[in-house]
Structure 1
Amino acid sequence: MIPVELVGVRVEVPANTPMVLLREQEGRHRLLPIYIGSPEASAIHYALEGIEPPRPFTHDLFLTTIDELGAALDKVVVTEIRDRTFYAEIHLTTDAGPLVISSRPSDAIALAVRCGAELFAGDELLDEHGQEPPEEPEEDAAEIIDEFKDFLENVDPEDFV
Protein backbone atom coordinates (compact mmCIF):
# COMPACT_ATOMS: atom_id res chain seq x y z
CA MET A 1 0.00 0.00 0.00
CA ILE A 2 1.21 3.45 -0.93
CA PRO A 3 0.00 6.57 0.91
CA VAL A 4 -1.81 8.99 -1.41
CA GLU A 5 -3.43 12.37 -0.94
CA LEU A 6 -6.55 13.76 -2.49
CA VAL A 7 -5.53 16.58 -4.81
CA GLY A 8 -9.14 17.49 -5.48
CA VAL A 9 -12.24 17.01 -7.55
CA ARG A 10 -12.05 18.12 -11.16
CA VAL A 11 -14.31 18.10 -14.19
CA GLU A 12 -12.76 16.54 -17.27
CA VAL A 13 -13.39 18.65 -20.36
CA PRO A 14 -14.95 18.26 -22.97
CA ALA A 15 -16.86 15.25 -21.62
CA ASN A 16 -17.90 17.16 -18.46
CA THR A 17 -17.10 14.07 -16.39
CA PRO A 18 -16.15 14.54 -12.72
CA MET A 19 -13.04 12.85 -11.40
CA VAL A 20 -10.97 12.72 -8.25
CA LEU A 21 -7.24 13.03 -8.51
CA LEU A 22 -5.05 11.16 -6.04
CA ARG A 23 -1.30 11.79 -5.77
CA GLU A 24 1.40 9.59 -4.30
CA GLN A 25 2.63 11.41 -1.17
CA GLU A 26 6.29 10.48 -1.48
CA GLY A 27 8.68 9.30 -4.15
CA ARG A 28 7.62 9.89 -7.75
CA HIS A 29 4.34 11.65 -6.84
CA ARG A 30 2.45 9.67 -9.46
CA LEU A 31 -1.13 10.71 -10.15
CA LEU A 32 -4.17 8.46 -10.18
CA PRO A 33 -7.27 9.97 -11.83
CA ILE A 34 -10.54 8.19 -11.08
CA TYR A 35 -13.76 9.09 -12.89
CA ILE A 36 -16.74 9.32 -10.54
CA GLY A 37 -20.40 10.28 -10.56
CA SER A 38 -21.70 13.80 -10.07
CA PRO A 39 -23.39 13.14 -6.69
CA GLU A 40 -20.18 11.66 -5.26
CA ALA A 41 -18.14 14.54 -6.68
CA SER A 42 -20.47 16.98 -4.94
CA ALA A 43 -20.26 15.04 -1.68
CA ILE A 44 -16.45 15.09 -1.76
CA HIS A 45 -16.35 18.76 -2.75
CA TYR A 46 -18.72 19.79 0.05
CA ALA A 47 -16.61 17.89 2.60
CA LEU A 48 -13.39 19.47 1.32
CA GLU A 49 -14.94 22.93 1.56
CA GLY A 50 -16.41 22.26 5.01
CA ILE A 51 -19.96 22.86 3.81
CA GLU A 52 -22.53 21.36 6.17
CA PRO A 53 -25.85 20.56 4.53
CA PRO A 54 -29.08 21.25 6.43
CA ARG A 55 -29.74 17.49 6.49
CA PRO A 56 -27.04 14.79 6.51
CA PHE A 57 -25.92 13.35 3.19
CA THR A 58 -25.69 9.58 2.82
CA HIS A 59 -21.96 9.64 3.62
CA ASP A 60 -22.60 11.64 6.79
CA LEU A 61 -25.30 9.15 7.81
CA PHE A 62 -22.94 6.22 7.22
CA LEU A 63 -20.22 7.80 9.36
CA THR A 64 -22.74 8.46 12.13
CA THR A 65 -23.79 4.81 11.95
CA ILE A 66 -20.16 3.64 12.15
CA ASP A 67 -19.64 5.87 15.19
CA GLU A 68 -22.86 4.80 16.91
CA LEU A 69 -21.84 1.16 16.47
CA GLY A 70 -18.58 1.88 18.28
CA ALA A 71 -16.42 1.44 15.19
CA ALA A 72 -13.91 3.77 13.55
CA LEU A 73 -12.88 4.27 9.95
CA ASP A 74 -9.09 3.78 9.86
CA LYS A 75 -8.20 4.01 6.21
CA VAL A 76 -9.37 3.75 2.64
CA VAL A 77 -7.45 1.72 0.09
CA VAL A 78 -8.03 2.00 -3.67
CA THR A 79 -7.07 -1.56 -4.50
CA GLU A 80 -7.40 -2.33 -8.19
CA ILE A 81 -9.00 -1.68 -11.54
CA ARG A 82 -10.92 -4.40 -13.40
CA ASP A 83 -12.69 -3.84 -16.70
CA ARG A 84 -12.05 -0.08 -16.39
CA THR A 85 -13.75 -0.03 -12.96
CA PHE A 86 -11.85 0.96 -9.82
CA TYR A 87 -12.35 -0.90 -6.54
CA ALA A 88 -11.67 0.25 -2.99
CA GLU A 89 -11.84 -1.00 0.57
CA ILE A 90 -12.99 0.74 3.73
CA HIS A 91 -10.98 -0.47 6.72
CA LEU A 92 -12.80 -0.26 10.05
CA THR A 93 -11.80 -1.02 13.60
CA THR A 94 -14.63 -2.59 15.58
CA ASP A 95 -14.98 -4.16 19.03
CA ALA A 96 -14.96 -7.53 17.28
CA GLY A 97 -11.73 -6.72 15.42
CA PRO A 98 -10.77 -5.28 12.04
CA LEU A 99 -13.40 -5.21 9.31
CA VAL A 100 -12.88 -4.55 5.59
CA ILE A 101 -15.81 -3.47 3.42
CA SER A 102 -15.71 -3.37 -0.38
CA SER A 103 -16.64 0.03 -1.80
CA ARG A 104 -16.59 2.30 -4.79
CA PRO A 105 -13.57 4.60 -4.49
CA SER A 106 -15.76 7.70 -4.68
CA ASP A 107 -17.87 6.66 -1.69
CA ALA A 108 -14.83 5.56 0.30
CA ILE A 109 -13.03 8.85 -0.42
CA ALA A 110 -16.13 10.85 0.53
CA LEU A 111 -16.10 9.06 3.90
CA ALA A 112 -12.35 9.49 4.40
CA VAL A 113 -12.53 13.23 3.71
CA ARG A 114 -15.28 13.62 6.32
CA CYS A 115 -13.42 11.86 9.12
CA GLY A 116 -9.78 12.48 8.20
CA ALA A 117 -8.95 8.84 7.46
CA GLU A 118 -5.79 8.07 5.53
CA LEU A 119 -5.91 7.24 1.83
CA PHE A 120 -3.83 4.54 0.16
CA ALA A 121 -3.48 2.98 -3.28
CA GLY A 122 -2.34 -0.53 -4.06
CA ASP A 123 1.27 -0.88 -5.19
CA GLU A 124 0.37 -2.73 -8.40
CA LEU A 125 -2.42 -0.27 -9.16
CA LEU A 126 -0.05 2.71 -9.02
CA ASP A 127 2.64 0.81 -10.93
CA GLU A 128 0.24 -0.04 -13.76
CA HIS A 129 -2.06 3.01 -13.84
CA GLY A 130 -0.24 5.80 -12.05
CA GLN A 131 0.66 8.73 -14.29
CA GLU A 132 3.87 10.68 -13.98
CA PRO A 133 3.18 14.31 -12.99
CA PRO A 134 3.80 16.96 -15.62
CA GLU A 135 7.30 18.41 -15.50
CA GLU A 136 7.59 21.69 -13.65
CA PRO A 137 8.92 24.58 -15.71
CA GLU A 138 12.47 25.51 -14.77
CA GLU A 139 11.53 29.14 -14.25
CA ASP A 140 8.18 30.46 -13.29
CA ALA A 141 6.35 32.90 -15.54
CA ALA A 142 7.09 35.93 -13.34
CA GLU A 143 10.84 35.38 -13.66
CA ILE A 144 10.59 35.05 -17.44
CA ILE A 145 8.52 38.25 -17.70
CA ASP A 146 11.00 40.14 -15.49
CA GLU A 147 13.91 38.98 -17.65
CA PHE A 148 12.08 40.04 -20.81
CA LYS A 149 11.27 43.49 -19.34
CA ASP A 150 14.91 43.90 -18.37
CA PHE A 151 15.94 42.97 -21.90
CA LEU A 152 13.51 45.50 -23.43
CA GLU A 153 14.72 48.29 -21.13
CA ASN A 154 18.36 47.67 -22.01
CA VAL A 155 18.16 46.73 -25.68
CA ASP A 156 19.91 48.96 -28.18
CA PRO A 157 19.03 48.86 -31.90
CA GLU A 158 22.72 48.42 -32.64
CA ASP A 159 22.59 45.06 -30.82
CA PHE A 160 20.80 43.69 -33.90
CA VAL A 161 23.37 44.76 -36.50
Structure 2
Amino acid sequence: MGEVRVVGIRVEQPANQPVLLLRESEGDRYLPIWIGQTEANAIILEQQGVEPVRPLTHDLFRDVIGALGHSLKEVRIVDLQEGTFYADLVFDSEVRVSARPSDSVAIALRMGVPIYVEDAVLDEAGLLIPDEGDEESGGAVREDEVEKFKEFLDSISPDDFKAG
Protein backbone atom coordinates (compact mmCIF):
# COMPACT_ATOMS: atom_id res chain seq x y z
CA MET A 1 0.00 0.00 0.00
CA GLY A 2 1.39 3.38 -0.99
CA GLU A 3 0.65 6.88 0.19
CA VAL A 4 -0.70 9.33 -2.37
CA ARG A 5 -1.28 13.05 -2.45
CA VAL A 6 -4.00 15.05 -4.13
CA VAL A 7 -2.74 16.82 -7.24
CA GLY A 8 -6.08 18.42 -8.03
CA ILE A 9 -9.36 18.29 -9.89
CA ARG A 10 -9.80 18.67 -13.63
CA VAL A 11 -13.08 18.81 -15.52
CA GLU A 12 -13.06 16.52 -18.54
CA GLN A 13 -14.67 18.04 -21.61
CA PRO A 14 -17.09 17.76 -23.32
CA ALA A 15 -18.88 15.68 -20.65
CA ASN A 16 -18.13 18.17 -17.83
CA GLN A 17 -17.04 15.22 -15.67
CA PRO A 18 -14.67 16.06 -12.78
CA VAL A 19 -11.60 13.87 -12.38
CA LEU A 20 -9.67 13.62 -9.11
CA LEU A 21 -5.96 13.12 -9.69
CA LEU A 22 -3.84 11.44 -7.02
CA ARG A 23 -0.09 10.85 -7.27
CA GLU A 24 2.14 8.40 -5.42
CA SER A 25 4.22 10.13 -2.76
CA GLU A 26 7.09 7.71 -3.32
CA GLY A 27 6.66 6.92 -6.99
CA ASP A 28 5.72 8.16 -10.42
CA ARG A 29 2.22 6.80 -10.92
CA TYR A 30 -0.94 8.85 -11.00
CA LEU A 31 -4.42 7.61 -10.20
CA PRO A 32 -7.33 9.36 -11.97
CA ILE A 33 -10.77 8.84 -10.41
CA TRP A 34 -13.90 10.21 -12.06
CA ILE A 35 -16.05 11.80 -9.33
CA GLY A 36 -19.24 13.81 -8.85
CA GLN A 37 -19.49 17.58 -9.08
CA THR A 38 -20.45 18.05 -5.42
CA GLU A 39 -17.42 16.12 -4.17
CA ALA A 40 -15.16 17.90 -6.67
CA ASN A 41 -16.36 21.27 -5.35
CA ALA A 42 -15.76 20.14 -1.75
CA ILE A 43 -12.18 19.09 -2.58
CA ILE A 44 -11.46 22.29 -4.53
CA LEU A 45 -12.82 24.51 -1.72
CA GLU A 46 -10.64 22.74 0.84
CA GLN A 47 -7.53 22.91 -1.35
CA GLN A 48 -8.11 26.64 -1.85
CA GLY A 49 -8.64 27.21 1.88
CA VAL A 50 -12.18 28.52 1.40
CA GLU A 51 -14.31 28.24 4.53
CA PRO A 52 -18.05 28.21 3.80
CA VAL A 53 -20.34 30.28 6.00
CA ARG A 54 -22.17 27.10 7.02
CA PRO A 55 -20.48 23.69 7.15
CA LEU A 56 -20.72 21.52 4.07
CA THR A 57 -21.45 17.82 4.50
CA HIS A 58 -17.75 16.90 4.71
CA ASP A 59 -17.15 19.65 7.28
CA LEU A 60 -20.12 18.43 9.29
CA PHE A 61 -18.79 14.87 9.20
CA ARG A 62 -15.40 16.08 10.47
CA ASP A 63 -17.08 18.00 13.28
CA VAL A 64 -19.27 15.03 14.29
CA ILE A 65 -16.24 12.73 14.48
CA GLY A 66 -14.52 15.17 16.82
CA ALA A 67 -17.65 15.81 18.89
CA LEU A 68 -18.00 12.07 19.48
CA GLY A 69 -14.41 11.91 20.71
CA HIS A 70 -13.03 9.87 17.83
CA SER A 71 -10.38 10.49 15.23
CA LEU A 72 -9.81 9.48 11.64
CA LYS A 73 -6.41 7.86 11.23
CA GLU A 74 -6.25 7.47 7.46
CA VAL A 75 -8.13 6.91 4.23
CA ARG A 76 -7.47 3.84 2.09
CA ILE A 77 -8.55 3.27 -1.48
CA VAL A 78 -8.88 -0.48 -1.28
CA ASP A 79 -10.46 -1.88 -4.42
CA LEU A 80 -11.43 -1.36 -8.04
CA GLN A 81 -14.29 -3.43 -9.43
CA GLU A 82 -15.75 -2.96 -12.90
CA GLY A 83 -14.48 0.63 -13.08
CA THR A 84 -15.70 1.60 -9.59
CA PHE A 85 -13.24 2.50 -6.84
CA TYR A 86 -13.88 1.64 -3.18
CA ALA A 87 -12.39 3.27 -0.10
CA ASP A 88 -12.31 2.79 3.66
CA LEU A 89 -12.22 5.43 6.36
CA VAL A 90 -9.98 4.01 9.10
CA PHE A 91 -10.77 5.37 12.56
CA ASP A 92 -9.15 4.96 15.94
CA SER A 93 -9.43 1.41 17.32
CA GLU A 94 -9.13 0.22 13.68
CA VAL A 95 -12.84 0.73 13.02
CA ARG A 96 -13.40 0.87 9.25
CA VAL A 97 -16.27 2.39 7.33
CA SER A 98 -16.68 1.86 3.58
CA ALA A 99 -17.04 5.08 1.60
CA ARG A 100 -16.67 6.52 -1.87
CA PRO A 101 -13.11 7.66 -2.61
CA SER A 102 -14.32 11.17 -3.47
CA ASP A 103 -15.98 11.64 -0.07
CA SER A 104 -13.03 9.96 1.64
CA VAL A 105 -10.53 12.33 0.03
CA ALA A 106 -12.65 15.39 0.86
CA ILE A 107 -12.76 14.29 4.50
CA ALA A 108 -9.05 13.36 4.60
CA LEU A 109 -8.10 16.83 3.36
CA ARG A 110 -10.23 18.46 6.06
CA MET A 111 -8.80 16.27 8.80
CA GLY A 112 -5.18 16.29 7.61
CA VAL A 113 -4.83 12.51 7.47
CA PRO A 114 -2.86 10.45 4.94
CA ILE A 115 -4.43 8.80 1.92
CA TYR A 116 -3.23 5.35 0.85
CA VAL A 117 -3.95 3.21 -2.19
CA GLU A 118 -3.65 -0.58 -2.27
CA ASP A 119 -0.86 -1.75 -4.56
CA ALA A 120 -3.28 -3.89 -6.58
CA VAL A 121 -5.40 -0.80 -7.34
CA LEU A 122 -2.37 1.22 -8.41
CA ASP A 123 -1.14 -1.70 -10.49
CA GLU A 124 -4.48 -1.91 -12.29
CA ALA A 125 -5.41 1.76 -12.69
CA GLY A 126 -2.24 3.75 -11.99
CA LEU A 127 -0.79 5.61 -14.93
CA LEU A 128 2.65 6.85 -15.78
CA ILE A 129 2.42 10.27 -17.34
CA PRO A 130 5.66 11.07 -19.17
CA ASP A 131 7.77 13.58 -17.25
CA GLU A 132 9.68 16.04 -19.38
CA GLY A 133 10.69 18.37 -16.54
CA ASP A 134 13.00 18.14 -13.58
CA GLU A 135 11.22 17.38 -10.30
CA GLU A 136 13.78 19.45 -8.41
CA SER A 137 12.32 22.65 -9.86
CA GLY A 138 10.26 23.42 -6.76
CA GLY A 139 6.84 25.03 -7.19
CA ALA A 140 6.77 24.49 -10.95
CA VAL A 141 6.34 20.74 -10.44
CA ARG A 142 2.67 21.05 -9.54
CA GLU A 143 1.93 23.20 -12.60
CA ASP A 144 3.82 20.74 -14.79
CA GLU A 145 1.89 17.83 -13.26
CA VAL A 146 -1.45 19.53 -13.83
CA GLU A 147 -0.55 20.44 -17.42
CA LYS A 148 0.56 16.87 -18.16
CA PHE A 149 -2.65 15.64 -16.59
CA LYS A 150 -4.76 17.96 -18.76
CA GLU A 151 -3.00 16.71 -21.88
CA PHE A 152 -3.47 13.12 -20.74
CA LEU A 153 -7.20 13.62 -20.12
CA ASP A 154 -7.65 15.01 -23.60
CA SER A 155 -6.55 11.63 -24.95
CA ILE A 156 -8.72 9.27 -22.84
CA SER A 157 -12.30 8.60 -21.76
CA PRO A 158 -13.83 6.81 -18.73
CA ASP A 159 -14.40 3.77 -20.97
CA ASP A 160 -10.60 3.28 -21.05
CA PHE A 161 -10.79 2.19 -17.40
CA LYS A 162 -13.60 -0.33 -17.57
CA ALA A 163 -12.62 -3.88 -16.73
CA GLY A 164 -12.52 -6.01 -19.82
What is the aligned length? 134
The separation in 2 between residues aligned to 1:32 and 1:79, in whole angstroms, is 13
The separation in 2 between residues aligned to 1:57 and 1:120, in whole angstroms, is 24
The separation in 2 between residues aligned to 1:67 and 1:91, in whole angstroms, is 14
1:13 Cα deviation (Å)?
2.0
- 3-state SS in 2 of match to 1:87: strand
**TM-score scaled by structure 2?**
0.79
Q: Deviations over 1:3-43 (max 9, x none)?
A: 1110011111222110110001113x101000000000000
Structure 2 counterpart of 1:48: 47
Structure 1 counterpart of 2:56: 57
Is 1:91 matched with 2:90?
Answer: yes
In the alignment, structure 2 segments of 5+ residues that lack a partner are: 135-164
- 3-state SS in 2 of match to 1:10: strand
User: Of the candidates 105, 117, 121, which is equivalent to residue 113 of structure 2?
Assistant: 117
User: Of the candidates 98, 102, 112, which is equivalent to residue 102 of structure 1?
Assistant: 98
**TM-score scaled by structure 1?**
0.80
* Higher CA-based Rg: 1
Identity of aligned residues (%): 46
* RMSD of aligned alpha carbons: 1.2
| Runs of 4+ with >4 A deviation | none
Letter in 1 for 2:115: L
Structure 2 counterpart of 1:12: 12
